[in-house]
A and B are shown apart, each in its own frame.
Chain A
């Protein structure tokens, strides 16, 4: 066996990729849709951002990477980072191919991230010396405890749902405005909570949210143009029901008092929009301790570790306790921040992606 690893996937082999993914997952998975695949892996006509392994003419492994500029300790400079997704290996090639792909990514990018790894993959990235964070915090706002109860995980008492009821009322709805890609860029040095994580530039926000081929996100801002608070959210209906659920996928604000105030207002007003839209509940998954405080000040409730109340996946509704872990690998000598100093949301990686497309 002689396996060759290509740094980018040649799109003229799309038929092989589609068959490979269909066999590994299911034929109607979103990645089997060429338009979605091309958007996700930033394909041009020739190549997509995916490492692929080939045994002769046979596709035997793939590892997608979402390349972004990343702040790593300062807003003064960026490094090239990548979110690694869809690590998929032909079962007959499990031993060396998967390892070669992950090593190729680790060597290439200064910072690599993974989210929601399974136990066997955690052992591998642990051996590579990555930092493994067991759980990314999740924040809830429950608007209709009775409706939420229909989706709740087994054995969750109604009193727990009632305790997470959102009780704030809209007071400044006019402060929210639609965010536009040509808005002035934030002054990143005023956003210390973003100093470890993907640069949320206009081009990133446009690609990730406004240009999404399947989901319809709403991107909103509050506060001054130099240091706006920004959020991206969407509303989805839980499969098999008519229950809408709000999902905040992106959120950040500056560290100044005015920026924090704008953040609290934005988190509260977005929740009020969900409530007005009839959502049973809403959630936000974020590693940043700073933004967690903001959400709690805005009336959201932190879901206690190990005891999720409500499902994270709604297509279909998964009534098991899904706890998102986070893995971060860096080149030697780079800082290893605490989880709360990182800014990671479900918008990073593949944690907010359609199942089918």
Chain B
């Protein structure tokens, strides 16, 4: 499974209700007022459906930054085309 940077930003931008350009590897939950529980769930469900993965509850609880989300996807074998 491979996902491009553009698509990743688009998906998370929609999940967090922000412009995709704001989805940066340096961004964390504190940077988005819209990163609340509901949108956290939106992001999880969106990525699970798109990438065909199932995050563990520990992973879901620990996702507090874009970089952590990318790392989780990579742990599940998803090739996010975005050098860290």
With most chain A CB atoms within 10 A of its CB, the pick from B29, B35, B64 is B64
Asked if A304 is an interface residue, CB under 8 A from chain B, the answer is: no
Tell me which residues across on chain A come within 8 A of B29, comparing CB atoms. Answer: 95-96
- Nearest-Cβ distance from residue B18 to partner chain A, whole angstroms: 14
Tell me which residues across on chain A come within 8 A of B36, comparing CB atoms. Answer: 94-95
Interface residues on B, range: 10 to 19
CB contact under 8 A between A5 and B61, given known A99-B44, A127-B42, A127-B45:
yes
Tell me which residues across on chain B come within 8 A of A3, comparing CB atoms. Answer: 58, 61-62
Nearest opposing residue in chain B for A102, CB measure:
B41
Majority DSSP secondary structure for residues of B touching A:
helix
Nearest opposing residue in chain B for A98, CB measure:
B37
Contact pick for B41, options A4, A107, A128, CB 8 Å: A128
B37 near A120 (CB under 8 angstroms)?
yes
CB contact under 8 A between A96 and B63, given known A101-B57, A103-B57, A104-B57:
yes
A5 near B38 (CB under 8 angstroms)?
no
Tell me which residues across on chain A come within 8 A of B35, comparing CB atoms. Answer: 95
Nearest opposing residue in chain B for A89, CB measure:
B37
Tell me which residues across on chain A come within 8 A of B45, comparing CB atoms. Answer: 127
Tell me which residues across on chain B come within 8 A of A127, comparing CB atoms. Answer: 38, 41-42, 45
Please report the C-alpha to C-alpha distance between residue A1 and residue B58 in the assembled complex, in whole angstroms.
11
Asked if B80 is an interface residue, CB under 8 A from chain A, the answer is: no
A2 near B62 (CB under 8 angstroms)?
yes
A100 near B37 (CB under 8 angstroms)?
no
B64 near A95 (CB under 8 angstroms)?
yes
Task: Give me the 8 closest cross-chain CB pairs, A-B, nearest first.
Answer: A3-B61, A100-B61, A100-B60, A100-B57, A104-B57, A5-B57, A99-B41, A95-B40
